[in-house]
Structure 1
Amino acid sequence: MATLDGLPPLREVIAEHGLSARKALGQNFILDLNLTARIARAAGDLTGTDVLEIGPGPGGLTRGLLLEGARHVVAVEKDARCLPALARIAERYPGRLTVVQGDALEIDPAAHLTPPVRIVANLPYNVGTELLIRWLTPSLWPPFWSTLTLMFQKEVAHRIVARPGDEAYGRLAILAQWRTAPRIVLELPPQAFVPPPKVSSAVVHLEALPRPRFPARAATLERVTAAAFGQRRKMLRSSLRGLSPDIEAHLAAAGIPPTERAEQVGLEAFCALARSLDGEAADQERDR
């Protein structure tokens, strides 16, 4: 059966290399090359762009990224069984694919990437959220990447784009929407994967903003939202009490009623609260 890139269909690749998906690695493969091409196109124009891919598996999305014109793909793969299949793709696209074996949580791929950089991945379910938070919270902003186009469980995708008052609204929405413009661009049923997961999935595209929407220190905003949503059923004057003995004064300064609950508070107000708390910390430092 012919494919656009002249490489074998993914079912043949998986059979040849014995690449049965492993639950311990969070693997669920997409075998439809038309679908992987759609995901690649959702990342935008890849011409002249380096792409970081996490968990390429047998290389379906990798092939889509290269077909869509990515200048260079850096694919980080933990499963050594996948390396021969990826090596064959590298042979088909000389100089355009670098495969790095290892754990994406422990590897810094920056040495292999030249800006502009986009990150595109069908993320392993077991590390997806942790990787996203790392990419959203670097010490310097703008980050090394311009966009993220990532596959998540549908529930996680809705948490990223949720608004105040939504059941899914929480810390992940705050962190994502503070520094990026996120939107869901594609939803996939379990049947799109092999083996089919128990849940539906969705692709989220996040575009890095040149600067955060509202001023705040990242560390303080993370601390505030972790406390607020860690006890989301409590009023904020209770859930945030550990942050300051004068928390009600800080809530008032940010325009937040002390009886409000976290899921009703918008991004701008959380940033104002973070600034107020940092002001208190600066005053205490000067008084020493």
Structure 2
Amino acid sequence: MTDPTLVPPESAVPSESASPQGSFDPHALPPLREVIARFGLDARKALGQNFLLDLNLTGRIARSANLPPGTTAVEVGPGPGGLTRALLATDAVKVIAIERDRRFIEALQDVVEAARGRLAIVEADALTVDPEQLAPAPRAVVANLPYNVATPLLLGWLARIEAYVSLTLMFQKEVADRLVAKPGSKAYGRLSVITQWRSEARVLFNLPPRAFTPPPKVESTVVHLTPRIGAEPADWRAVEQVTAAAFGQRRKMLRQSLKSLGNAEALLEETGIAPTARAEEIDVAGFAALARAFRARNPLEPPR
């Protein structure tokens, strides 16, 4: 991982003068469209940027995260700062915003100063930084994710979901549907299994393309994820391998699609899963059982 760069405000404010949580007024700063025009902030497709400028909507997202007092909120891709402002109006003790596009750093300085010690901007690629290293516990992620990196970011956080109070994230609706899909449905797949194995995922609400600037071609969905209590025991890498094999050839029977794991028939017999079943028919508990059986036959090499 690369070292993130903490960007200080242009005029530092002592932490003793930090504003109490919930007293921040998102509407007290210049309108977001004015900020975009002032700094020439066009949305870049290559970075998956679509700005949410309606402060009523960003406020709804921030409130839906239901952050407990004392929580540090981590945001990815703040852009001109609409959701950032809304998070500062919650009970979050601090907001840490990760932004890789340097154009927005200067544009966010007014928000940094108005936050009086409760906002830190980290200049970095979110794929290369660990929120656990940036934010003390309790921590939560609340973000309108860039669509081109949403899935790898989610998987990285799910691997350590117990380190977070919650994840409140915006995805393309198609991706959100996959997160909560049930066995037997067309949307059910590898991402469904891993998400539901590690978390309780709940769809909150949808946002139409017209809510964004520029409008994307797809509808968006906000999803709330919390650590699953009593999750099925299984090794993360084993679950990844088993689901990749099973859904990599989802139209085939498991006795065929799991062949790449070695001795597929034995794995299925040990777990009581019919060899003629297909991946989309197996629930999370079934995949966890397959992962345990696979790991027992293929133990991890001890670290050097």
List gaps (5 residues or longer) in structure 2: 1-24
Q: Deviations over 1:63-86 (max 9, x none)?
A: 000012211000000111111221
Give the equivalent residue in structure 1 for 2:182: 163
Alignment check: 8 A CA contact 1:36 1:61 kept: yes
Give the equivalent residue in structure 2 for 1:204: 223
Q: How far did 1:210 drift?
A: 4.2
Which structure 2 residues correspond to residues 1-288 of structure 1 after superposition, within 5 A? 4-138=26-160, 142=162, 144-211=163-230, 213-245=231-263, 247-281=264-298
Q: Deviations over 1:151-189 (max 9, x none)?
A: 000000001001101101011111111111001101011
Alignment check: 8 A CA contact 1:10 1:31 kept: yes
Q: Deviations over 1:45-99 (max 9, x none)?
A: 3421101100000000000000122110000001111112211101001110000
Change (3 A) 1:241 1:28: same
Alignment check: 8 A CA contact 2:26 2:55 kept: no
Change (3 A) 1:42 1:16: same
CA–CA separation in structure 2 for the residues paired with 1:118 and 1:147: 5
CA–CA separation in structure 2 for the residues paired with 1:171 and 1:4: 39
Q: How far did 1:4 drift?
A: 4.7
CA–CA separation in structure 2 for the residues paired with 1:236 and 1:123: 34
Q: How far did 1:278 drift?
A: 2.1
Q: CA RMSD in A?
A: 1.6
Alignment check: 8 A CA contact 1:152 1:203 kept: yes
Q: Deviations over 1:127-163 (max 9, x none)?
A: 110100111124xx62x21200000000000010011
Structure 2 counterpart of 1:192, one-letter code: A
CA–CA separation in structure 2 for the residues paired with 1:85 and 1:96: 17
- Determine what percentage of the aligned residue pairs are the same residue: 55
Change (3 A) 1:46 1:192: farther
Structure 2 counterpart of 1:193, one-letter code: F
Structure 1 counterpart of 2:36, one-letter code: I
CA–CA separation in structure 2 for the residues paired with 1:280 and 1:101: 44
List gaps (5 residues or longer) in structure 1: none
Alignment check: 8 A CA contact 1:51 1:70 kept: yes
Q: What TM-score do you get using the length of structure 1 for normalisation?
A: 0.92
CA–CA separation in structure 1 for the residues paired with 2:219 and 2:94: 30
Q: How far did 1:217 drift?
A: 1.1
Q: How far did 1:276 drift?
A: 1.5
- SS of the aligned residue for 1:182 comes to strand
CA–CA separation in structure 1 for the residues paired with 2:286 and 2:94: 41
Q: How far did 1:34 drift?
A: 0.4
CA–CA separation in structure 2 for the residues paired with 1:189 and 1:7: 26
Q: How far did 1:5 drift?
A: 3.9
CA–CA separation in structure 1 for the residues paired with 2:119 and 2:82: 13
- SS of the aligned residue for 2:108 comes to helix
Change (3 A) 1:17 1:263: same
Q: What TM-score do you get using the length of structure 2 for normalisation?
A: 0.87
CA–CA separation in structure 2 for the residues paired with 1:46 and 1:10: 27
Alignment check: 8 A CA contact 1:5 1:67 kept: no
Alignment check: 8 A CA contact 1:46 1:68 kept: no
CA–CA separation in structure 2 for the residues paired with 1:17 and 1:77: 16
Q: How far did 1:221 drift?
A: 0.9
